[in-house]
């Protein structure tokens, strides 16, 4: 059943007034409701009426957040500019930054009555449900920063607001359930000076639609998109003019699409915030640095020249030769030498043995090499086992002395193998050629 606006209804002793079709709230008649204060009354209640109150430049008149959070003594609820049915001069004329979050303001006309006499450059209206406007009063000519997070403000409404705020440089539209940004032919006129746009925690899915809607804003430098539903970054047909800071954390991005972001940015260097794409944050960082040659800062941490060299060289050791960046980086750092597969044969050492009548000398080496027999053994073989195998091969006593003749410059090195607790690989530490 649809009830007309203004109809009073009752249920089990509770009463309510229908404010809009199919909407109503049942509130016990005994409940004391806070209907809010005028801006002037709220200022007097919170800051007093002394000279310091009239000279304040930063003001916070914030109501309580939605349940289950509780209000505290500092919460005030601004409903209008002046007391009902009255007008007059605004006694507070030095306010430059004003926070009216969680207030009871109903529309932009009432906000304009508060803002018109003030030299406002920052206005915060988070969690305020303002009636949709088709035109906004010209009371915000000096406003530079506007926070409309969690206000159900969509992109079309933001364009209406932008036309009334020509000096706006920062706009926050986070947590508003925005699913798409529709391109508009007058977006550049609506935001002639906008440098920072916050669209985090919305429901945006298409990078292509984002670019189509925002590229005409030639002054835009920072774009915050964390907490959306973007799955890929597509190549841009027209890049952003000045964009150099993009936040994409908490998006289900495909790693393979991230390099396309460089086609969307014309700035010589830029900053980027990414979610983990390659397992952990460190792997993602090295991968992103290697893939994005103009990236200067990743996840709020600057990239040093040495870190870029390390990341690019590491990338060459793990990347496929089919990767586009592989051949580009090979020209810078050279083609990497792939290590041979680890097999049983790769872990063996080739040695030669020969039986001698006495301890060898440097002069005996050419003759001994001519008579030597080949033998392959694992590098981890203990020297006591080597001694036993060689003694058996040459029919000598297992307690016979054993020497190693190692290649070295300017002459071979002869080492007595009397420390049988080492393995065969230790002999390579003596070799110099």
Residues 289 and 354 in one domain: no
- Among 302, 326, 361, where does a domain finish? 302
Helix 324-333 with 281-291: angle, nearest 10 deg = 80
Whole-number Cα distances in Å, 433 to 78, 251, 345, 417, 422? 85, 55, 22, 20, 22
Cα–Cα distances in angstroms (integers) from residue 367 to residues 173, 355, 371, 372, 404, in the given order:
87, 11, 7, 9, 15
Q: Do 61 and 135 fall within a single domain?
A: yes
Residues of the domain holding 94:
37-302
Q: Is residue 353, in this structure, part of any structural domain at all?
A: yes
Say what the pLDDT of residue 35 is.
81
Same domain, 281 and 407: no
CA 424/CA 421 separation, integer angstroms: 10
Same domain, 198 and 256: yes
> From CA 209, how far away is CA 184, in angstroms rounded?
11
Q: 255 — phi, psi (to 5°)?
A: -60, -40
Is residue 319 included in any domain, yes or no? no
| CA–CA separation, 139 and 146 (whole Å) | 13
Residues 85 and 227 in one domain: yes
The DSSP bridge pattern shows strands 413-416 and 403-406 to be: antiparallel
Residue 218 · residue 242 · CB < 8 Å: yes
Each residue's pLDDT, cut to its tens digit, for the chain (433 residues) gives 455 555 555 444 444 444 555 555 555 555 566 788 999 999 999 999 899 999 999 999 999 776 766 667 678 999 999 987 678 888 999 999 999 999 999 999 999 999 999 999 999 999 999 999 999 999 999 999 999 999 999 999 999 999 999 999 999 999 999 999 999 999 999 999 999 999 999 999 999 999 999 999 999 999 999 999 999 999 999 999 999 999 999 999 999 999 999 999 999 999 999 999 977 888 999 999 999 999 999 999 999 999 999 999 999 988 989 999 999 999 999 988 776 667 777 778 888 888 888 888 888 888 888 888 888 888 788 877 887 888 888 888 777 888 888 877 777 888 787 766 677 777 665 544 3
How many domains is the chain built from?
2
Residues in the chain, how many? 433
- Report the CATH number at residue 65: 3.80.10.10
Q: Residue 418: inside a domain, yes or no?
A: yes
* 3 state DSSP class of 20: strand
In a domain, 336, yes or no: no
149-155, Cβ contacts within 8 angstroms, sequence gap of 24 or more = 149/173, 149/174, 149/175, 149/176, 149/198, 150/126, 150/174, 150/175, 150/176, 151/125, 151/126, 151/127, 151/176, 152/176, 152/177, 154/178, 155/180, 155/181, 155/182, 155/213
Residue that the structure tokens 């189509």 belong to: 212
354 and 298 share one domain: no
Do residues 162 and 250 both lie within one domain? yes
In a domain, 219, yes or no: yes
CB 221 within 8 A of CB 195: yes
Same domain? 102 vs 213? yes
The confidence score (pLDDT) of residue 433 equals 35
Question: Are 110 and 219 found together in one domain?
Answer: yes
Indicate the helix (H) or strand (E) that contains 378: strand 373-378
Shared domain for 354 and 297, answered yes or no, is: no
Contact 322, 296 (CB under 8 A): no
Residues 258 and 192 in one domain: yes
Q: Considering only CA atoms, give the Rg of the chain.
A: 38
User: Looking at the domain assignment, is residue 1 inside a domain?
Assistant: no
Alpha carbon distance 345, 378 (integer Å): 8
Dihedral of the CA atoms 312, 316, 321, 323 (nearest 10)? -30
Q: How far apart are the C-alpha atoms of 423 and 383, rounded to whole Å?
A: 5
Question: Would residue 314 count as lying in a domain?
Answer: no
**267 plus 405 within the same structural domain:** no
> Is 337 a domain residue?
no
């Amino acid at each position: 059943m649809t009830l007309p606006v203004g109809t009073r209804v009752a249920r089990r002793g509770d009463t309510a007034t229908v404010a809009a079709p199919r909407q109503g709230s049942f509130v016990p008649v005994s409940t004391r409701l806070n209907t809010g204060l005028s801006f002037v009354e709220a200022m007097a209640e919170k800051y007093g009426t002394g000279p310091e109150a009239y000279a304040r430049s930063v003001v916070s008149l914030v109501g309580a957040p939605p349940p289950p959070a509780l209000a505290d003594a500092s919460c005030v609820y601004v409903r209008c500019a002046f007391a009902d049915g009255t007008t007059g001069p605004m006694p507070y004329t030095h306010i430059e930054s004003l926070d009216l979050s969680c207030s009871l303001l109903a529309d932009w006309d009432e906000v304009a009555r508060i803002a018109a006499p003030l030299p406002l450059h920052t206005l915060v209206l988070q969690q305020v449900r303002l009636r949709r406007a088709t035109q906004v009063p010209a009371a915000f000519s000096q406003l530079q920063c506007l926070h409309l997070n969690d206000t159900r403000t969509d992109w079309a409404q933001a364009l209406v607001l932008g036309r009334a705020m020509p000096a706006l440089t920062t706009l926050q539209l986070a947590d508003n359930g925005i699913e798409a940004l529709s391109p508009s032919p007058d977006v550049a006129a609506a935001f002639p000076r906008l440098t920072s746009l916050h669209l985090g925690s919305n429901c945006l899915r298409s990078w292509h639609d984002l670019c189509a809607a925002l590229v005409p804003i030639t002054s835009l430098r920072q774009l915050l998109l964390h907490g959306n539903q973007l799955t890929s970054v597509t190549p841009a047909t027209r890049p952003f003019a000045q964009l150099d800071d993009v936040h994409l954390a908490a998006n289900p991005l495909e790693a393979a699409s991230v390099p396309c972001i460089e086609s969307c940015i014309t700035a010589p260097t830029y900053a980027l915030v990414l979610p983990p794409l390659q397992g952990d944050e460190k792997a993602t960082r090295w991968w992103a640095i290697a893939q994005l040659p103009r990236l200067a800062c990743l996840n709020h941490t600057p990239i040093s020249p040495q870190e870029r060299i390390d990341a690019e060289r590491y990338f060459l050791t793990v990347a496929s030769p089919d990767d586009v960046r592989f051949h580009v980086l090979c020209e810078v750092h050279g083609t990497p030498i792939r290590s041979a597969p680890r097999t049983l044969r790769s872990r063996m050492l080739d040695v030669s043995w020969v039986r001698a009548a006495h301890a060898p000398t440097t002069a005996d080496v050419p003759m001994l090499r001519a008579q030597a027999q080949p033998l392959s053994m694992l590098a981890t073989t203990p020297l006591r086992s080597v001694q036993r195998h060689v003694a058996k091969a040459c029919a000598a006593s297992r307690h016979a002395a054993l020497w190693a003749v190692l290649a070295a410059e300017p002459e071979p090195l002869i080492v007595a193998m009397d420390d049988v607790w080492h393995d065969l690989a230790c002999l390579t530490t003596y070799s110099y050629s």
